[in-house]
Every structure is written in structure tokens, then in C-alpha cells.
Amino acid sequence: MEITADSTIYDLLKTKPEAAAVLFKFGMGCVGCAIARGETIREAAMVHGIPLEELTAALGIPA
């Protein structure tokens, strides 16, 4: 499964468990969050006020 900015946080963590450390670095406590199942990486970046390009670059995924 290719992970992009439109993938859910849940799918990201399922595919790339090491991404949890990157999310924590940005102040995102998405691991274990109920919203993570339906919220996309793009939506999470917006909610947390994180530039999408910066987050996707750190995660190593396409924006």
C-alpha cells in the first residue's frame, strides 16, 4: 500500500510503525487516538498547524 498525504494516520502507522516517532516529534499524539482511524495525514497536519510539505518530507511520503 502506498502511503500519501491522503492516507489515514492509522494506515500510515500500520504500514510504517516507525512513523510514530516522527509524529511525536511534531507534537502529534496520534498513536492510540480514536480519530486516527479516519483522519488523513493532510487533515492532521492542518488541525495541528503543521505545514504539510514539512510533515510529508519527514515521513518520507509524497504530499
pLDDT digits (tens, 9 = 90+) for 2-42: 999 999 999 999 999 999 999 999 988 766 666 777 899 99
Longest dimension (CA), the chain: 27
Model pTM score: 0.87
Residue 21's nearest CA partner among 51, 12, 37, 35 is 12
Q: What range does the domain containing 40 cover?
A: 9-59
* Domain contains 2: no
Q: What is the pLDDT of residue 25?
A: 93
* Domain contains 40: yes
* Domain contains 52: yes
* Domain contains 32: yes
* Confidence tier at 63 by pLDDT (50, 70, 90): confident
Name the phi and psi angles at 24, rounded to 5.
Answer: -60, -40
Please state the domain count of the chain: 1
* Domain contains 26: yes
Q: What is the pLDDT of residue 34?
A: 67
